[in-house]
Amino acid sequence: MDTTQLLKGVLDLAVLAVLKDEDGYGYDILRRLRAAGLDEVGDASVYGTLRRLFQAGFLNSYVVPSEEGPHRKYYGLNAAGRDQLHRAGKTWRGFASTMDALLDERGVAA
Amino acid sequence: MNTVTEQDAYLAAVRAALADLDPAVRDELLEDLPQHLAEVAAEGGSLTDRLGPPEAYAAELRAAVGVPRATGARGLDERVAGTVRAVRARLGVADRRLGPVIGYGRASEFLRLLRPAWWVLRGYLVAMAVTVVTTTEFGLLPRLGGSTIAAVLLLAVCVPASVWLGRRERSFPAWPRRAVAAGGLVLVVFGLAGFVDADRRGNYLDNTQSVSVDPYHYIEDVYVYDENGQLVTGATLYDQDGNPIRLGDLYRCSDAYRTGHDGTSVRDAVRGLDVEPAGYPYCPQFAPYQIAPRPGVRPTLAPAPTTVPAQPTATPDPAVPSPTAEPTVTPVPTPSGAAAPSPTG
């Protein structure tokens, strides 16, 4: 199965999750996602998702000057973002366990 | 130096791929891109190798943000096309939803079956339009010049012509086909307006007919009886405005006079009626009752005596031409109730 299709549905949640403990700028967030195993996530998808979450009011952002290049725009969760992470996380876990159970019943190999 | 130009070129290409967006939205989307390109370039390798072509990056960014394909920067025709597309999509949904309700896969399948019916109706409407334009009358038949035969002939031409057109219009080029569709729309509006008008006129005719039906049309004469059941002659009726009420047939008794009264000449009788009717009744000799039955009196008693005393009173007069004849007549007007039974019993 093409993971990019699956990613589309959960990238919001993934981005919220990697920002839970520490704010980050775009490329930083991309690296965290890849480090977590989401190798196929596209650069533009992450930036687009950040933009959309920011517009939806889940993120705050601030600019940090950088010595070695252009300044960096950092993103972090605000209260609404944490709330959204909590709800979306629950939804995902429910969905994932349902899918797991469905596959287990039919003996599909993990 | 080289890397900066590559980043600039990549950035410019992505910007160009998002050219249809509102400039403010586009700038927001691209806000992080220079920094990102710098980070990627710092790790080595060409930007296109790492990120794919700028157009693909733009498309991915657009999809991830969920920006609709365009906003304010679109031209009018693009917006119209967008609206048409949206309406079509809605209609498509309605088509699929409605279909099962009427027992078809799609509502349009059913409408397609109705197409020949529309052709026939269209021919009829064309005939009606021709008739209305020439005679300005919208009835049920296109009576050209008021002729039924013309109506049938006109229908015999227009309906098959419309069907013929219907079977071929799909193979027409775009513009003639649109003209036919527009004409059909005009005909539908014309037909609706015409039917509403004809319906209203039909109702109006019905009303006038029911009004013009005279509930007293069968009346030939009017007989007025007084409180004692005696026939009143020379009575005149007036309505609330003081206008005389004229009922019945003034000349009803011109024949009766001719045959019934031997002494009077026809001319006299007719002349007498012509001058001015004396009043109701026109024909006193045809009175339905000599003494009318009244609500207070039992019908079994009243009719039998009423006819009897009327004649006896007439016969004694010539039989006994005594001067007391006049006084004996006077009691006659009072044979109501108690007086009537006494002569018989």
Q: Could you tell me which residues come within 8 angstroms of residue B280 by beta carbon, excluding any fewer than 6 positions away? A: B221, B222, B223, B224, B232, B233, B234, B235, B236, B237, B247, B248
Say whether B40 and A50 touch across the interface (CB within 8 A): no
Name the least confident of A72-86, B127-141, B234-248, B328-342: B328-342
pLDDT tens, position by position, B100-132: 888 888 888 888 889 899 999 999 999 888 888
- Amino acid B119: pLDDT: 92
Q: Is the pLDDT of residue B313 over 50?
A: no
* Closest approach of A13 to chain B, Cα-based (Å): 13
Q: Which residue has the tokens 């596959």?
A: A103
Chain B within 8 Å of A94 (Cβ-Cβ)? no
- Amino acid B158: pLDDT: 92
- Amino acid A94: pLDDT: 95
Q: Is the pLDDT of residue B325 over 70?
A: no
Which strand ranges, in their side-by-side order, compose the sheet holding A24-25? A24-25, A72-77, A59-64
pLDDT tens, position by position, A3-62: 777 887 789 999 999 999 999 998 899 999 999 998 888 899 999 999 989 989 999 999
pLDDT tens, position by position, B267-302: 444 444 444 556 788 888 888 887 777 666 554 444
**How many whole angstroms separate alpha carbon B151 and alpha carbon B145?**
9
Contact call for residues A50 and A81 (beta carbons, < 8 A) = no
Contact call for residues B38 and A70 (beta carbons, < 8 A) = yes
**How many whole angstroms separate alpha carbon B83 and alpha carbon B108?**
21
- Interhelix angle A43-55/A26-35, nearest 10 degrees: 120
**How many whole angstroms separate alpha carbon A60 and alpha carbon A81?**
9
Bridge partners, residue A75, by sequence: A24, A61
Say whether A11 and B60 touch across the interface (CB within 8 A): no
**pTM for the model:** 0.40
pLDDT tens, position by position, B28-72: 888 888 888 888 888 888 888 888 889 889 988 888 887 665 444
**How many whole angstroms separate alpha carbon A57 and alpha carbon A47?**
16
User: Pairing between strand A59-64 and A72-77?
Assistant: antiparallel
Q: Is the pLDDT of residue B96 over 70?
A: yes
Q: Give residue B4's pLDDT band: very low, low, confident or very high (50, 70, 90).
A: low
Q: Which residues of B touch A26 (CB under 8 A)?
A: 32, 35-36
Quote ipTM for the complex. Answer: 0.84
**How many whole angstroms separate alpha carbon B30 and alpha carbon B13?**
11
pLDDT tens, position by position, B128-146: 888 888 876 677 788 777 7
Q: Could you tell me which residues come within 8 angstroms of residue B252 by beta carbon, excluding any fewer than 6 positions away? A: B220, B221, B282, B283
Contact call for residues B344 and B305 (beta carbons, < 8 A) = yes
pLDDT tens, position by position, B196-241: 887 877 766 555 555 556 677 788 888 888 888 888 888 888 888 8
CB atoms within 10 A of CB B3: 14
Chain B within 8 Å of A77 (Cβ-Cβ)? no
Contact call for residues A50 and B32 (beta carbons, < 8 A) = yes
